[in-house]
């Protein structure tokens, strides 16, 4: 592997972007791009696990994505549903993978059968420790912060917390990614260079890597390139440059 000896990022987050453009370039409907993107998602999970990445977060469906056509939203939901069914059917194989699955985002508004499958998948993998996979579905970074702030407000209202006791640590503990390290590296393929409301709080000190390749064409070699670029960065976290 070209990244042998490289200090790996503990947590990699990926914005899976470019499915629709990939399909359009090939004269296909957008849903075909999402199908191909789902295959790449599985491949990158396996490869990241093999090289020793501990945490992976994928931006699969944002709160803004509901604005897309009913056909496209339905196709994405069907892909998620099929993935969850597949997880259930391949439980014995998944036992050996050691993946702990967490779906981050609001469950409200999601199809009831998908929510039930998500809950079951999380419960089945709750004791796994080899690699943690977060799948952001119906997710928005600002909405996540608002949700945590409301929980803090409820604690204050109940008399369990004083406003002056609110800290970054208390708020972080109420985010969907509670008990996980913040992402070290955020990767966005497809040529776009924006965060798009993804892990707004958690990305404060993340390194960003942008790539022109569309997500359905993203390969393990592309992940290697991102990790190698990350390894060359000097992460100072607000401090002075190392000598």
Give the count of alpha carbons within 13 A of 82, CB side only: 11
Q: Is 66 helix (H, G, I), strand (E, B) or coil?
A: helix
96: Cα separation from own chain's centroid: 22
For this structure, is 19 an active site residue? no
- Give the Å distances, CA to CA, from 8 to 50, 51, 52, 53, 241: 12, 9, 8, 7, 20
Which of the following is catalytic: 17, 182, 184, 211?
17
Pairwise CA distance, residues 202 & 66, whole Å: 24
- Largest Cα–Cα separation, the chain: 59
Give the count of alpha carbons within 13 A of 57, CB side only: 26
Complete DSSP assignment for 75-117: HHHHHHHHHHHHHHHTHHHHHHHTEEEEEES--TTS-HHHHHH
Pairwise CA distance, residues 187 & 17, whole Å: 10
Pairwise CA distance, residues 223 & 37, whole Å: 15
For this structure, is 17 an active site residue? yes
Number of neighbours of residue 87 by Cβ within 10 angstroms: 19
- Alpha helix stretches (DSSP H) within the chain: 19-25, 30-51, 70-89, 91-97, 112-124, 141-157, 168-172, 220-231
Which of the following is catalytic: 4, 19, 65, 138?
65
Residues marked active site are found at 17, 65
């Amino acid at each position: 592997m070209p990244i042998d000896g490289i200090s790996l990022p503990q947590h990699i987050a990926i914005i899976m972007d470019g499915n629709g453009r990939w399909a359009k370039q090939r004269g296909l409907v957008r849903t075909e791009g999402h199908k191909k993107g789902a295959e790449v998602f599985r491949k990158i999970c396996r490869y990241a696990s093999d090289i020793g990445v501990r945490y992976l977060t994928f931006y699969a469906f944002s709160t803004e994505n509901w604005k897309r056509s009913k056909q496209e939203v339905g196709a994405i939901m069907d892909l998620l549903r099929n993935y969850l069914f597949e997880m259930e059917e391949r439980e014995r194989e998944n036992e050996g993978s050691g993946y702990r699955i967490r779906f981050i985002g609001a469950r409200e508004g999601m199809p009831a059968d998908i929510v039930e499958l998500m809950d079951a998948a999380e419960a089945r993998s709750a004791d796994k420790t080899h690699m943690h996979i977060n799948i952001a579905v119906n997710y928005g970074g600002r909405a996540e912060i608002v949700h945590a702030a409301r929980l803090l407000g409820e604690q204050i209202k109940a008399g369990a917390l004083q406003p002056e006791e609110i800290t970054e640590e208390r708020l972080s503990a109420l985010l969907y990614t509670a008990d996980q390290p913040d992402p070290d590296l955020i990767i966005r393929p497809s040529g776009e260079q924006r965060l798009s409301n993804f892990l707004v709080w958690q990305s404060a000190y993340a390194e960003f890597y942008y790539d022109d390749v569309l997500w359905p064409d993203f390969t393990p070699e592309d992940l290697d390139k991102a990790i190698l670029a990350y390894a060359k960065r000097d992460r100072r976290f607000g401090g002075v440059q190392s000598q």
